Amino acid sequence: MKKNIVETAINAGSFKTLVKAVKAAKLVETLSGKGPFTVFAPTDKAFRKLPKGTIKKLLKDKNKLTAVLTYHVVSGKVMASDVLKLKSAKTVQGGRVKFDTADGVKVNNANVVKADIKTSNGVIHVIDKVLLPN
């Protein structure tokens, strides 16, 4: 059987910061739940692009951290082929992410570097930047 979103992220090894943040925000149970969810998952390298001190500040502010993390999650299973037909999607946080397929696939200003990683409760798309809600 396939692993869920959280287990898949842990096993990948390139999402240590994301997993740490999900644990700090107490979202492990939610993202391990039934779903389906679509997660735009920033790599550790993407988190390192944030201004110095941003991650530490977020880890200390559970409400902001939760808002940032849930901004990376869309209810339902949105595969790469679906994105071609969509201009945007509503996130679990309540905001919207915009899709651009003119040159590769972008979510807001982040490039999708690996798409359609199927899990038992949804799909993960790997992105190269952290998405920040307005």
pLDDT beneath 50: ranges in the chain:
none
pTM of the prediction?
A: 0.95
Q: What's the confidence (pLDDT) of residue 110? A: 97
Q: What's the confidence (pLDDT) of residue 134? A: 82
Strands of the 110-119 sheet, one edge to the other: 73-75, 37-42, 122-127, 110-119, 106-107, 96-100, 88-90
Structure confidence by residue, pLDDT tens digits, 37-57 = 999 999 999 999 999 999 999
Superfamily of domain 5-127: FAS1 domain (2.30.180.10)
Domain ranges for the chain: 5-127
> Mean pLDDT in the chain?
95
The answer to whether 66 and 82 are in contact (CB under 8 A) is no
Sequence letter at residue 7: E
Tokens representing 64 are 């902001």
